[in-house]
Amino acid sequence: MGDKEKIAKTVVHVMGFGAPKYGALERYILDLSKTASLNKIKIVVIYNRMPKSEEFLQDLKDNKIAFYIAKAHNPLKFLPIFFKIIMQYKPSIIHSHFQPLWPGIFGYLFGCKNRWNTIHLMLVDKDIKEATQLNQLKITSRIHRMLVNKFNTRFFSVSNAVNNQFKAFYPSQVRKFEVLYNGVQFAPIDKEVSRVKLGFCDDTLYICCVAFASKTKGVDILIDAMNQLYNMNKDRKLKLCLIGLMQGDNMTNKLMKRVESYGLEDMVINFGIINNVTEVLPAMDIYVQPSRSESLSNAIIEAGFAGVPAIGSNVGGIPEVIIENETGFLFPVGDYQELAKKIDLLIKNDDLRREMGIKAKQHKIDNFLMADKIDRLIDYYKSTH
């Protein structure tokens, strides 16, 4: 497979970020590359910065996946690397992520006719509210988006919510947009085994949130809800497990000060950024995604595979991964009091938690297996000339 004559086509993935951990998107690109190789398709990857996970870097090396470092949002730094890749691999498809402008423009200038983009984010206004009208976006955002639309030939939206928003905002580009859900690896891990490894106590309920340090993710809303829950459940041992907050980050510091202001230091376990989220989630009892905006949420999908019921804000694509009153609950975005009530309902009803967890697992298996989504994308690649 290493010989050029055996490769039918090359696809360049411009990731548009720096891979700070070995998470769902890193596992996706790795599995995509493996599956593509079996179909005589070579995947070449460009990251904005060197990935931080040594394990991920080793997996890229072991699987002979070519990757480069070039900031996709900086034309002067991106162009030389991109030009080198174009000349060396002569790709059939440029597939970018997170809406960088330059892969589409340079791909067009260098004669690559298939310039695709996966849209991972909802468009939001200055207050981080999901926009309902195009004029709610900053003028610079509108210009950027117009150019991205012009120079890319196909868009994959990670949820119906994303797809509907973009089609409403850009009716002349409707034919370019379609939905291709994110997928997540399903690796069953026993709940008790996971809890023992983490040293969790049998008499304690563990509530989890996976989120990077950003106001968009709404961790402050969850902390406010936990303060209310503490006062409602003084006879119940609760722990809030936060995963993904970068140590020393300004937002992380603000969140930890919020925890301290409520006197909840003993309740919160800050895992920081970890690479084994899927091994930790099975130990949890309740998963919460309190985002102010969310295109879909891989973490809710991962929690579902772990058999953990989820509670999420009613925004973006979250209602597509939480079936209300079956696999979990939705709450109005920002309403920490309503969030506290939903969590409290699951705290006090063991049977409901277990039932929702079982349904969540089956729902995710039926709809969000990574292998299924990769196979579908490979079909797109194979049918493109």
Residue 379 has pLDDT above 90, yes or no: yes
Q: What is the CATH number of the domain that holds 79?
A: 3.40.50.2000
Answer yes or no: do 265 and 307 share one domain.
Answer: yes
pLDDT digits (tens, 9 = 90+) for 304-341: 999 999 999 999 999 999 999 999 999 999 999 999 99
Return the biggest CA–CA distance within the chain: 68
Answer yes or no: do 19 and 138 share one domain.
Answer: yes
Q: What is the pLDDT of residue 1?
A: 41
Answer yes or no: do 312 and 226 share one domain.
Answer: yes
d(CA 148, CA 251): 30
Tell me the pLDDT band of 121, cut-offs 50, 70 and 90.
very high
Residue 194 has pLDDT above 90, yes or no: yes
Both tokens assigned to 135 = 């004029």
Answer yes or no: do 263 and 313 share one domain.
Answer: yes
d(CA 284, CA 110): 49
Answer yes or no: do 136 and 202 share one domain.
Answer: no
pLDDT digits (tens, 9 = 90+) for 36-70: 999 999 999 999 999 999 999 999 999 999 999 99
d(CA 32, CA 380): 13
Mutual angle of helices 24-38 and 298-305, in 10-degree steps: 80
pLDDT digits (tens, 9 = 90+) for 197-235: 999 999 999 999 999 999 999 999 999 999 999 888 777
Domain total of the chain: 2
Answer yes or no: do 295 and 337 share one domain.
Answer: yes
Q: How far apart are the first and last CA of the chain?
A: 20
pLDDT digits (tens, 9 = 90+) for 232-254: 877 789 999 999 999 899 999 99
Burial class (CB in 10 A: 0-12, 13-18, 19+), 243: buried
Which of 182, 135, 144 has the alpha carbon at shortest distance from 294?
182
- Please give the share of the chain, as a percent, with pLDDT higher than 70: 99
Answer yes or no: do 25 and 63 share one domain.
Answer: yes
d(CA 246, CA 178): 33
Answer yes or no: do 297 and 233 share one domain.
Answer: yes
Answer yes or no: do 149 and 296 share one domain.
Answer: no
Q: What is the pLDDT of residue 3?
A: 46
Answer yes or no: do 156 and 226 share one domain.
Answer: no
Answer yes or no: do 169 and 271 share one domain.
Answer: no
Residues in CB range of 355: below 8 A, 6 or more apart = none
Q: What is the pLDDT of residue 7?
A: 78
pLDDT digits (tens, 9 = 90+) for 138-173: 999 999 999 999 999 999 999 999 999 999 999 999
Domain extent for 50? 4-183+369-382
Q: What is the pLDDT of residue 20?
A: 85
Answer yes or no: do 141 and 207 share one domain.
Answer: no
